[in-house]
Amino acid sequence: MKKIILTGDRPTGNLHIGHYVGSIANRLKLQKENDFEKFYIMIADTQALTDNADKVDKVKNNVIQVAIDYLSAGIDPEKVTIFIQSQVPELAEMTMYFMNLVTVARLNRNPTIKEELKMREFGGNSMPVGFMCYPISQASDILAFNATTIPVGEDQLPMLEQAREISRAFNSTYGSKILVEPQALLPESKSQARLVGLDGKLKMSKSAGNCIFLKDSEAEVKQKIMSAYTDPNHIKVSDPGKVEGNVVFEYLDAFATDESFKKYLPEYKNLDELKAHYRKGGLGDVKIKLFLNNVLQEILKPIREKRAELEKNVDKIYEMLFENSRKAREVASQTMQKMKEAMGIDYTKFLKK
Ligand code: TRP
């Protein structure tokens, strides 16, 4: 059986290099392997609105920004169906029926919901119902397309478990076999998991203001790298330095290859040698930062150039998104129809021919 791959992002900001290592690179790899029946990437605007009800403009503007980020990073819309969640209304319809299969207690046990309840001002009962139910809506995103394979980070595992439970609950409640149980596809290595931000404290995220964005200019990227957190006790070049928790080395772990050394820093064979020198002392931050800058600019330059090209014709991107959303909708509406038949609410059969 061939895979049906589905994944998505909330359009709340431009994509950054943390997304690149964490998910985009993996999607490009899957696209290249070409071992799937269908590959969907959803721009989850409906989900983004569950905690941005008053920020519709932000979400709306980021739908096109995220689409441009995907395309400029090399996602091929001929191979991958990139679509907008809100343009597939069957997903909302499906969510309504799935809500009957999940208890409030179960949602309260979802670690993401629990965490958000603690972290934000959603104290007491002030969490929007839509936000609380987004794990259910995410199950619809997945089950509507019979997706088998969901490439996501660890943080999404509770959502996947919820989707699997809903699939089983629907099938057993309505004596059907139509819904598939999806599997998560996790990043292969730890350095592909989420990247730390430039401050060295939090994970890279727009809200923490510690990102290098795919769309940043060459000068912005360089300026950000030069100000990245390294080792505060590595003051003189001759001081021994720490590699762990050092942002420059974290990024080199994720992006530098032996090839990068040949090209930009031939005095060292590989990252292990560079780390050993840094630990011993005698290697300055400016040198490692300039190396990282070369490595990252090489990856970001073609993405930036493609973006400039794409931005000349945004209409075409909207057309692509609508066409792909229409295709996605056809599939979701078939699943919805089968679900109604399984539930016994396909009233059209009572119509006289
Ligand atoms: N919740 C995901 C995130 O925040 C985005 C998302 C929405 C998603 N629907 C999905 C991911 C379906 C995988 C499958 O990143």
Domain shared by 100 and 126, yes or no: yes
CATH number, domain with residue 123: 3.40.50.620
Domain shared by 48 and 131, yes or no: yes
Which spans in the chain are helix H?
Answer: 17-19, 25-33, 45-49, 56-73, 90-98, 104-109, 111-119, 129-132, 134-143, 157-173, 218-226, 247-255, 258-264, 271-280, 285-310, 314-343
In a domain, 267, yes or no: yes
| Residue 168: per-residue pLDDT | 98
Residue 126: in which H helix or E strand, if any? none
- Alpha carbons 191 and 21: distance in angstroms, whole number: 8
CA-to-CA dists, residue 176 to 167, 217, 330, 331, 351, angstroms:
10, 53, 21, 18, 24
| Residue 270: per-residue pLDDT | 96
Binding-site residues, ligand 1, Cβ < 6 A: 6-10, 42, 44, 47, 138, 141-142, 150, 152, 156
In a domain, 210, yes or no: no
Domain shared by 169 and 248, yes or no: no
Residue span of the structural domain in which 125 resides: 3-194+314-350
- Alpha carbons 300 and 215: distance in angstroms, whole number: 8
What radius of gyration do the chain's Cα atoms show?
Answer: 23
| Residue 39: per-residue pLDDT | 98
Domain shared by 112 and 241, yes or no: no
- Alpha carbons 53 and 351: distance in angstroms, whole number: 40
Where the chain has pLDDT below 70, the residues are 121-124, 190-192
Contact 220, 296 (CB under 8 A): no
Total domains present in the chain: 2
In a domain, 207, yes or no: no
Domain shared by 245 and 148, yes or no: no
| Ligand 1 center–CA 122 separation, angstroms | 21
Ligand 1, atom 3, residue with closest C-alpha:
9
Q: Measured in whole angstroms, how far is the alpha carbon of residue 234 from the centre of its chain?
A: 35
| Ligand 1 center–CA 198 separation, angstroms | 25
Domain shared by 299 and 160, yes or no: no
Ligand 1, atom 2, residue with closest C-alpha:
9
Domain shared by 158 and 25, yes or no: yes
Domain shared by 164 and 233, yes or no: no
Residue 149, phi then psi, degrees to nearest 5: -135, 120
| Ligand 1 center–CA 50 separation, angstroms | 13
Ligand 1, atom 6, residue with closest C-alpha:
8
Domain shared by 282 and 156, yes or no: no
In a domain, 204, yes or no: no
Residue 2 CB: number of other CB atoms within 10 A? Answer: 10
- Alpha carbons 343 and 284: distance in angstroms, whole number: 67
Domain shared by 160 and 303, yes or no: no
| Residue 124: per-residue pLDDT | 66
Domain shared by 246 and 181, yes or no: no
